[in-house]
Amino acid sequence: MSRLLERGKTPSRTTETTTITIGDEYKDPVYPHTGNIESLQIFQAARADFLAKRGITPETLANQGLFPLMIQQVASYRGQSYPGETVDIVTSLVPSRRKIVFYHEMRKGDQLVVEATCNYLLISSTGKPQLIPTHLTRQLEQPTPRA
C-alpha cells in the first residue's frame, strides 16, 4: 500500500482497483508520456467514479448543503506511463469526522508508477468546515458495489 499513508492510519475496507487504458487526452503536451498533471486527472476521475458508485455526487452533497474542498494533494512519481498502456488504478480512503483522505496508486503490474494522497474537507455554503455526517461515512465505507 502507499508509502504516503498518514502515520498510524490504514485505508478502510473501501479499496477498489480499476483497470484502464490510458487515453490520448492524458498525454503530456510536450513529452510522449502521461504527464504529472494528467496523472492527477486520472486519479480525480477515479475519485469521482468511486464516490458515484456509492451514490455520492457533487449534486447530492450540494443538496445537503455540503461542498468538497481539497485542502492538500501530495504525489510521488516513481515511473512512467504512456497513452495506450493498460494500468491499474487503486483507490482507497480513510474517512474521519473532519476530513476524507483518498489514497491512489497507478500500477503497471507490480511496478508503482504514481502514488498520491488527497485530503478533503466538507464545507458549508458559508465556507465553514463541517463534520462528516455519519450517514455519509457509512456510504463511503461501503464495499465496492458489484456490477
Does residue 7 belong to any structural domain of this protein?
Answer: no
Does residue 122 belong to any structural domain of this protein?
Answer: yes
**pLDDT of residue 7 exceeding 80:** no
Lowest mean pLDDT among 5-9, 32-36, 38-42, 43-47: 5-9
Domain count, the chain: 1
**pLDDT of residue 124 exceeding 70:** yes
Alpha carbon distance 2, 111 (integer Å) = 12
Structural domain for 130, as ranges = 15-140
90-to-30, 50, 75, 133 alpha-carbon distances in Å: 27, 10, 14, 25
What residue ranges in 66-136 does DSSP mark as E strands? 67-77, 86-95, 100-108, 111-123, 129-130
Does residue 93 belong to any structural domain of this protein?
Answer: yes
Does residue 9 belong to any structural domain of this protein?
Answer: no
pTM here is 0.84
Does residue 5 belong to any structural domain of this protein?
Answer: no
Does residue 135 belong to any structural domain of this protein?
Answer: yes
**pLDDT of residue 133 exceeding 90:** yes
**pLDDT of residue 147 exceeding 90:** no
Alpha carbon distance 139, 98 (integer Å) = 16
Sign (positive or negative) of CA dihedral 113, 107, 36, 21: positive
Which CATH number do you get for residue 134?
3.10.129.10
C-alpha cell at 132: 462528516
**pLDDT of residue 28 exceeding 80:** yes
Does residue 6 belong to any structural domain of this protein?
Answer: no
Does residue 10 belong to any structural domain of this protein?
Answer: no
